[in-house]
Amino acid sequence: MGAVKEEEILSILLEKVGKKLEDLRKKQGYTSHETFAYDNELPRVQYWRIEKGKTNVTLKSLVKILAIHKLTVEEFFADLLKEKKATKK
Domains, the chain, with CATH or none: 3-88 (1.10.260.40)
Return the DSSP state at 21. H
Q: How far is CA 50 from the centre of its chain?
A: 6
pLDDT computed for residue 47 by the predictor? 98
What is the structure's pLDDT at 79?
Answer: 75
Q: What is the pLDDT of residue 87?
A: 61
Kindly list the averaged pLDDT for each block of 10 residues, start to end, along the chain of length 89: 82 95 97 97 97 95 97 91 64
* pLDDT at site 70: 97
